[in-house]
Amino acid sequence: MIQALRGMKDILPPDNARYEHILRTASAVAGRYGYTYVETPLLEETALFKRSVGESSDIVGKEMYQFIDKGGHDVCLRPEGTAGVVRMFIQNKLDKKGGLHRFFYHGPMFRYERPQKGRLRQFHQFGCESFGEASVYEDFTIIMMVKDIFDALGIGYEILVNSLGCPECMPRYREELVGYLQNIQEALCDDCRRRIATNPIRVLDCKNETCQRHLADAPLMSGHLCETCQSDFTTLTQLLTANRLPFRHDPKLVRGLDYYTRTAFEFVSSEIGAQSAIAGGGRYNRLVEFLGGKPTPAVGFALGIERIMELVKMPESAREGYYLGVMEPAALPAVLQAAHRLRQNHTVHTEYAKKSLKAHLKAADRLGARYCAVVGEEELSQNAIWVKDMETKEERRLALDALG
């Protein structure tokens, strides 16, 4: 028996209803914030992710589904959505057009990570990217949008925020951090030691307890922000406070992707175990230029649909639509016509086999139909159909033509 690959999951009933509910809710909220739906290919040139997510990130270094295609091109399955949307933005010359462009997307992402609860190799994200707005008010508005999505889904969260600085203040801070890390490198794990040269900021969020003990006095970005970065971060936290958002400044929040500048944030849930991040995002003002486009400020986020599926409670679904069946097969053509008429406005389940009334009622109940409609011998002779309201238990006989 061939099984699905490790870390990859089918989404089938009853979970599919939660999946759809999350997508529908998030898309509706994004629409109200002026975002429009876009799709980009699952497969892109590997260089796109190396340049954007960063060669020294775990995602590019260890987790890519990368291969050479039949034409000899180095390609990979997208590990995240931002890079593809930025490529789309530049390739379609939207950077040259100027103005504001706001997009949302959803679909599968692929990371060859060690599977565990909440961590899959194929998972689904819903994401938004906003191009052309440099104001920190846009960062705030994006965080409000994520809040609206989780509120609409009835999910609790805490928001972690940080500022990662800009090309003016980040290099100075990085130098100081590297100096500090070099002094304690003997005490750090292999990963951290390697990162001192490649990506020192990532050392700060190492999960190893010994490393964290030695990092207790490490210099933090928050003490090194330039005036503009500091003023933007203050504005952001003031706005979050004024709007009573449950946030905490986490000076060690660095995110696992290299493209961020200034605002970085994560929404975390305490109810789903170690993989607690349910959404993450931030500003990436340099990425469009870095990938060959006209310099364009940008900010975005993505949420992990599978992690949210663990948290979302579906509203009790009401009985809906019709179940149509026959006890007399001769009635089937007329019943199918009625089904087609009803389907213009209702969900309709049809059963083609001759069954007892009891069996039809049981099937209608299992399918969650509001009405069970059956043609028996007597109905056939009168060109009628027997209909039972499964909720009120009321029974009626109608002309078959009158149904639908």
What is the binding site for ligand HAM (CB under 6 A)? 80-82, 111, 113, 119-120, 123, 125, 127, 129, 256-257, 277-282, 300-304, 306-307
Closest among 83, 42, 105 to 305, alpha carbons compared:
105
Q: Minimal distance in Å, beta carbon 287 to ligand HAM?
A: 9
With respect to ligand HAM, which residue has the nearer C-beta, 24 or 114?
114
Q: Minimal distance in Å, beta carbon 244 to ligand HAM?
A: 23
With respect to ligand HAM, which residue has the nearer C-beta, 132 or 300?
300
Cα separation of 95 and 101, whole Å?
Answer: 9
Q: Minimal distance in Å, beta carbon 215 to ligand HAM?
A: 21
The four Cα atoms 184, 185, 188, 189 give a dihedral, to 10 degrees, of 180
Q: Minimal distance in Å, beta carbon 377 to ligand HAM?
A: 56
With respect to ligand HAM, which residue has the nearer C-beta, 253 or 338?
253
Give the burial string for 200-209 (b: 16+ CB within 10 Å, else e).
bbbbbebeee
With respect to ligand HAM, which residue has the nearer C-beta, 307 or 360?
307
Cβ atoms within 10 Å of 3's Cβ, excluding its own: 6
Cα separation of 202 and 256, whole Å?
Answer: 7
Q: Minimal distance in Å, beta carbon 254 to ligand HAM?
A: 11
Q: For residue 235, give the 3-state DSSP assignment.
A: helix
Q: Minimal distance in Å, beta carbon 6 to ligand HAM?
A: 12
Q: Are 231 and 121 in contact (CB under 8 A)?
A: no
CA distances from 364 to 156, 356, 367, 387 (A): 36, 13, 5, 11
Give me the residues paired with residue 183 across strands. Answer: none
With respect to ligand HAM, which residue has the nearer C-beta, 283 or 388?
283
Q: Minimal distance in Å, beta carbon 127 to ligand HAM?
A: 5
Nearest residue (beta carbon) to ligand HAM: 304
Closest among 360, 368, 390 to 14, alpha carbons compared:
368
With respect to ligand HAM, which residue has the nearer C-beta, 44 or 113?
113
With respect to ligand HAM, which residue has the nearer C-beta, 200 or 281?
281
Give me the residues paired with residue 161 across strands. Answer: 249, 265
DSSP string, 332-376: HHHHHHHHHHHTTTS-EEEEEEE--HHHHHHHHHHTT-SEEEEE-
